[in-house]
Structure 1
Amino acid sequence: MYYSEMNSPVGNLLLLGDGTALTGLYMHDQKYRPPLPAGCRRDDRLFAPVRAQLEAYFAGERRRFDVRLSPRGTPFQQAVWQALCDIPYGATESYGALAARIGRQGASRAVGLANGHNPIGIIVPCHRVLGADGSLTGYGGGIERKRWLLDCERRHAAAGQLSFDLPGLD
Structure 2
Amino acid sequence: MRETGNCDGSRDKRHLPPTYNTFGVMRAALSAFLLSYSLLATAAPEEWRDSPRVLSCAPRVLHAGDTLRLSLGPKHGRELSVTRLADGATFMLVIGAPPQDMVQLMTPDEFAKVKSLSIPTSVEATRWDGAEVREPIFTRLGIYEVSVSEVFESERGGFYCRVHYAGAKR
TM-score w.r.t. the length of structure 1 is 0.24
Higher alpha-carbon Rg: 2
Give me the TM-score of the superposition, normalised by structure 2: 0.24
| Greater percentage in strand | 2
Which structure has the highest helix share of the two?
A: 1
